[in-house]
Amino acid sequence: MRKVLSVCFVLFLLTGCWDKVELNEISIVTGIAIEKGEKDKFLVTVETINAPQLSADQPGSGTPVITFQEEGNSLAELSERMNIGLSRKLIYSHTRIIVIDEILAKEGVGDILDFLERTGEFRNDFNILITRGTKASDIVKTTYPLELVPSIKVHKQIEVYLEEWGGDPYVRLTDFISSLTSKGRHPVTSAVSIEGKPEAGKSIDQNSKTELDATVIISGLSIFKKDKLIGFLSPEEARDYLWTQGLNRTSLTVPCNMEGEEKSDSYLDIRVINSHSDVKVKDKHGNITITVAISGEAKIQGTQCRKNLEKIETYHKHEEALNKYVEEKISRTIKKMQEDYHADIFGFGEVFYRSSPKKFKEVEDDWDRLFSEAEVKINSNYHIKRSGIRNKSFLSDESVTD
């Protein structure tokens, strides 16, 4: 009897394959585009991988991805109904980008976010993108020679862009929802558009061209008030926003003349190699003062300035020019948010709440107005540590000694 029970117990533990799913029975979704439907509330486009065409050992002659569109009033139902035109079960856990059309985003993205958070089918590592001047479905259909899957191309493009230049806020689903529900911060996320002819970019022939007919570009930052899109910032302004959040690395082109001198066509090429930001918010009798301190290290990558880099005074002057340039850029972008949008996307309200929770509770419903009227001070303190692999440039004017 003991032997029989032991065998039955072992057999019970070996029943793990009852819900197996073979790879040739599923399709992996890498990108989703959500637009406003013509008849129903949503028009959803899914991009799925055609795996045999991506094989290095047995490459096929077909398309590497397949897209399919369907209209409906519920994203949950649409995600399950896609098999009206696709043969395999769709797996959403490897989705790389979710693109929301600009027109739909202006009406509100709350329903979309609720579905994405509630369903449990998605991870928290995909990019949420808003289109700017183009259709969301065109983003997941625009091909690229070096990356056969359009959505993976855009995902990698944003990762490298953030690492090398710093123009992406790295917003994930939980970040967006956290900002949306916060009283002291409004959500932001990257904006994308297509440079060229969108229709030409959908052709598989583009993968064999050296000059692309269309390419997806990161076109700045999309700004939300609650769950509604209210406007955009340029790529330069997006970086100004990131400076207040703790931008890591970036490159700058700083004019040589910064101290009221005549405008020059000469520039200093600066690479910021590490950076830190510190924000303080003070309330004095109802007057809000916001101080943003930026600090870090930089190096010279190139110079058109005819100044002797063998002298410490030259570095001091370049540091002054760099810091003034950074302060002016960040101040201009914050002022734009105060005057044009009246929306705190920087999280200054959250900083105020952490330092003075009782005071913030008293003004949280009126924070956007207080932010718009606040005095903002930017203090930049970058130090230039290196000048590349040489000091004085062979282009230097020997007669210049200061």
> Does 56 lie in the same domain as 106?
yes
> Does 166 lie in the same domain as 286?
no
> Does 271 lie in the same domain as 196?
no
87 DSSP 8-state letter: S
Which tens digit of pLDDT belongs to each residue from 257-285? 655 444 567 899 999 999 999 999 999 88
Q: Which domain holds residue 388?
A: 236-402
Domain count, the chain: 2
Residue type (1 letter), 28: I
Instruction: Flag whether 1 is in a domain.
Output: no
Task: Give the tokens for residue 402.
Answer: 């200061």
262 DSSP 8-state letter: P
> Does 194 lie in the same domain as 78?
yes
> Does 211 lie in the same domain as 346?
no
> Does 203 lie in the same domain as 178?
yes
Residue 10 has pLDDT above 80, yes or no: no
The confidence score (pLDDT) of residue 281 equals: 96
Lowest model confidence (mean pLDDT) among 49-53, 97-101, 136-140, 287-291: 49-53
Given a contact cutoff of 8 angstroms between Cβ atoms, the answer to whether 120 and 93 are in contact is no
Of 218, 233, 248, the residue that ends a domain is: 233
The confidence score (pLDDT) of residue 262 equals: 44
Instruction: Flag whether 291 is in a domain.
Output: yes
The confidence score (pLDDT) of residue 340 equals: 97
Residue of 383 and 260 predicted with greater confidence:
383
Residue of 147 and 139 predicted with greater confidence:
139
The confidence score (pLDDT) of residue 1 equals: 77
Instruction: Flag whether 17 is in a domain.
Output: no
Q: Which helix (H) or strand (E) holds 201?
A: helix 198-201
- What does the alpha-carbon distance between residue 152 and residue 139 come to, in Å, rounded to a whole number? 11
Task: Give the tokens for residue 113.
Answer: 């976010």
The confidence score (pLDDT) of residue 266 equals: 86
Q: Count Cβ atoms below 10 Å from residue 351 Cβ, excluding itself.
A: 19
Instruction: Flag whether 16 is in a domain.
Output: no
Instruction: Flag whether 352 is in a domain.
Output: yes
Q: CATH number of the domain at 249, please.
A: 3.30.300.210
> Does 259 lie in the same domain as 208?
no
> Does 313 lie in the same domain as 214?
no
Given a contact cutoff of 8 angstroms between Cβ atoms, the answer to whether 72 and 84 are in contact is no
Residue of 100 and 80 predicted with greater confidence:
100
> Does 289 lie in the same domain as 221?
no
Which tens digit of pLDDT belongs to each residue from 184-241? 999 999 999 999 877 756 666 665 666 778 899 999 999 999 999 999 999 999 999 9
Indicate the burial class of 306 (C-beta count within 10 angstroms; 0-12, 13-18, 19 or more). middle
Separation in Å, CA 224 to CA 30, 228, 276, 284: 25, 5, 25, 29
Residue 84 has pLDDT above 70, yes or no: yes
Instruction: Flag whether 9 is in a domain.
Output: no
Task: Give the tokens for residue 379.
Answer: 């203090």
Q: Count Cβ atoms below 10 Å from residue 390 Cβ, excluding itself.
A: 9
In whole numbers, what is the pLDDT of the chain averaged over residues?
87
> Does 202 lie in the same domain as 140?
yes
Of 233, 260, 279, the residue that ends a domain is: 233
Separation in Å, CA 203 to CA 31, 138, 146: 18, 11, 15
The confidence score (pLDDT) of residue 148 equals: 83
Instruction: Flag whether 5 is in a domain.
Output: no
**In the chain, pLDDT over 70 holds for what percent of residues?**
85
The confidence score (pLDDT) of residue 311 equals: 86
Of 204, 233, 262, the residue that ends a domain is: 233
Lowest model confidence (mean pLDDT) among 134-148, 370-384, 386-400: 386-400
Separation in Å, CA 119 to CA 41, 63, 114, 115: 19, 30, 8, 6
- What does the alpha-carbon distance between residue 270 and residue 387 come to, in Å, rounded to a whole number? 9
- What does the alpha-carbon distance between residue 166 and residue 158 come to, in Å, rounded to a whole number? 9
- Burial pattern 136-159, b for ≥16 Cβ within 10 A else e, equals bbbbbbbbbeebbbbbbbbbebbe
**Closest Cα partner for 79 from 127, 45, 113, 36?**
45
Tell me the three state secondary structure of residue 396. Answer: coil
Calculated CA dihedral for residues 121, 127, 128, 131, nearest 10 degrees:
-130
> Does 330 lie in the same domain as 301?
yes
> Does 390 lie in the same domain as 369?
yes
Instruction: Flag whether 4 is in a domain.
Output: no
The confidence score (pLDDT) of residue 71 equals: 95
